[in-house]
Structure 1
Amino acid sequence: MDIDLLWSALVLPLLRLTLAISMGLIVGNLIEALNWTHTMARLASPLIRMARLKDVSGASFSMAFFSSITANTMLAEAHDKGEMSRRELVLANLFNALPTYLLHLPTVYFLTVPYIGDAAAVYVGLSLLAAALRTLFIIALGRLTLPPIPEGCVVCRLQENGFKGFRAAFRLALKRFRTRLPKILYITVPIYVAIHFAARHGLFARLEQFMAQNVGELSWLPASALPIVIFQMASEFTAGLAAAGALITTGGLEPRFVILALLVGNILSSPMRAFRHQFPSYAGIFSPALALRLIVYNQALRVGGMIVVTYGYWLWAF
């Protein structure tokens, strides 16, 4: 084993990646802690009206920028009191996926950049486009299926979770950083090392031959992109990013294929991961049957939006 080659090709890039991830997490967590979405919630109030959602749905939408559990609790209580129908409950819950996504958008972007560089803007932008398409679909569905509503106060409860000051925001960002960084590195380092040695020993060349013979459904992806999809399905998003970063660093994969593989991995991995993480909290707020139905609706809509965006990107980039 050549120590100099190991240092320049593996250790040094990994150290740079760790530093970049650390800085990205700090910045992303700080933006989250500063409640940058406070203004977004106010700007989104016309969308609430366009979807013909009631005040309680609008308040829940605003609260989802800060706590999805609080937002869902508001919907469940309103439904139990007879203030909203089952249909509006479903649509409001689906609509709340947008603020939940926007809340974590800075962290997702600043976490993705160290791994895949400029391709991060394209990948995150495509994910945001999919979220926007889902929101437009829900607005159209609400206007078609819900009755008109009178004017009211949609964002009255925003001040309950307003800006608490820079010092408090920095403490919260630092707390999140200390929690997230060890978990990310625990996944990133071994995967990065594994991808590095796999590429050097010709694993992807053999994998390409295997794919050509046995995996026709994904044969349109390069063989070297398959580990990105596999790691996302077997573990989590950070694992797929680690594989993507290693492949880009070694020159084994073009950025456009990395983006496509991340999108495909996102589509295939999200439903089961969402069920695993969301069902316990959903079942504690709604009835188990309704909780399962809401998760199925959310994931079906999410996967549909991602498929449309992925297909559009494939047509544009290839």
Structure 2
Amino acid sequence: MDIAHLWHALGWPLLRLLASLALALLVANVIEALNWTRFLARLAAPIIRIGHLKDVIGASFSMAFFSGAAANSLLAEAYGQGRLTDRELILANLFNSLPTYFLHLPQMFIITVPFLGPKTAATYVGLTLFAAIARSAAILVYGSIALPPLPEGCVVCHLTEDTFSWQKALRKAWKRFVRRLRSMLYFTVPIYIGFHYLTVWGAFAAMEGWLASHLSFLAWMTPQAVSIVMFQVAAETSAGLAAAGAMLGAGSLDGREVVLALLVGNILSTPMRAFRHQFPYYAGIFKPAVAVRLIVHNQAFRAASLVAVLVAYALLG
């Protein structure tokens, strides 16, 4: 393989990907730092009435659109004071999955596009968004059936407004951009190069026999798709995206196969990653036993919703 061919087949596509990725990451962090979802908090008051949820839960739901830590701290305080039962605390935490998802939605979509392209990225992000909406909707349905109606409360009474500062927001965005870009490049460059050569050398054909005997429950997936799942499980989300981008670029997989692989990898990788990253954070707000209980319920509910979305897309997509 000569230098010219290597540049056109690997160097230029990788350089173009990294440039678009850096720009997308910067834009996403600026949007996130500007608290673009704050206006959605106004919807909380009428929504919680549907699910017979207390006003403090509505306030936590509103705060979760711009600060997950503040939302959980509000729930912890109410729980510690006896204003929330164990069941209400778990429901509140599950209910907050939608605003928590919206908090990072711009970054997730803008970063996914350079790897997968607009159409495939929109499909994947749209399916995970639908799963998040379904989770919160399910909590409202359950609450309307299992919880007694409550008198009118005051959601806004529990909220605190921070003074907005452009300088502070942009400084926060730049700090996050530098940290996340370094981490993403660490995975993207070697994985993209590695998958390029694995494709050229035909290494994926050798995986078929191994998959048949070790991962029979993924036998419906091609070896290339399973490799995306493996990278998501073994490393970070950006590793799976880098692998998916390489497969799409090489024409080894189509958009539908990539979306299915990313959904499977998402389901299998998130629970352990959540415990690794979320437990120290949750344990700093709630008691350790409560933190474990919340994480278990949250991840089980999340996995169930993604499995339902995966099955529906596999059958209807």
What is the CA deviation profile of residues 48-80 of structure 1, one whole-angstrom value per residue up to 9, with x for unaligned ones?
221211111111111112222221121111111
Q: How does 1:1-318 map to 2 (within 5 A)?
A: 1-117=1-117, 118-158=119-159, 160-161=161-162, 164-317=164-317
What is the CA deviation profile of residues 239-263 of structure 1, one whole-angstrom value per residue up to 9, with x for unaligned ones?
1000000111111111110000000
Secondary structure at the residue paired with 2:251? coil
What is the CA deviation profile of residues 193-239 of structure 1, one whole-angstrom value per residue up to 9, with x for unaligned ones?
11111111111111134324543211111111111100000011101
Q: TM-score, normalised by structure 2?
A: 0.95
Structure 1 residue 311, shift from structure 2 partner: 0.3
Runs of 5+ consecutive residues of structure 1 not aligned to the other structure = none
CA separation of 1:230/1:54 partners in 2, compared to 1, >3 Å: closer, same or farther? same
Which piece of structure 1 moves more, 52-61 or 41-50? 41-50
- For 2:156 and 2:2, locate their aligned partners in 1 and report how far apart those are by CA, in whole Å: 62
Structure 1 residue 168, shift from structure 2 partner: 3.6
Alpha carbons 2:44, 2:58 under 8 Å: kept: no
Paired residue type of 2:19 = L
Structure 1 residue 166, shift from structure 2 partner: 4.0
- For 2:50 and 2:3, locate their aligned partners in 1 and report how far apart those are by CA, in whole Å: 63
- For 1:183 and 1:10, locate their aligned partners in 2 and report how far apart those are by CA, in whole Å: 21
Aligned residues: 316
What is the CA deviation profile of residues 102-147 of structure 1, one whole-angstrom value per residue up to 9, with x for unaligned ones?
0000000001000000200000000000001111111111112222
What is the CA deviation profile of residues 166-207 of structure 1, one whole-angstrom value per residue up to 9, with x for unaligned ones?
444333222221121111001110111111111111111111
- For 1:131 and 1:282, locate their aligned partners in 2 and report how far apart those are by CA, in whole Å: 20
Paired residue type of 1:273 = R
- For 1:23 and 1:157, locate their aligned partners in 2 and report how far apart those are by CA, in whole Å: 37
Secondary structure at the residue paired with 1:8? helix
Which piece of structure 1 moves more, 60-69 or 244-253? 60-69
What is the CA deviation profile of residues 244-299 of structure 1, one whole-angstrom value per residue up to 9, with x for unaligned ones?
00111111111110000000000000111111111112122222211111111001
- For 1:288 and 1:85, locate their aligned partners in 2 and report how far apart those are by CA, in whole Å: 17
- For 2:44 and 2:20, locate their aligned partners in 1 and report how far apart those are by CA, in whole Å: 33
- For 2:214 and 2:57, locate their aligned partners in 1 and report how far apart those are by CA, in whole Å: 49
What is the CA deviation profile of residues 131-164 of structure 1, one whole-angstrom value per residue up to 9, with x for unaligned ones?
01111111111112222111122134555136x2
Secondary structure at the residue paired with 1:91? helix
Alpha carbons 2:56, 2:158 under 8 Å: kept: no
Identical-pair percentage = 56
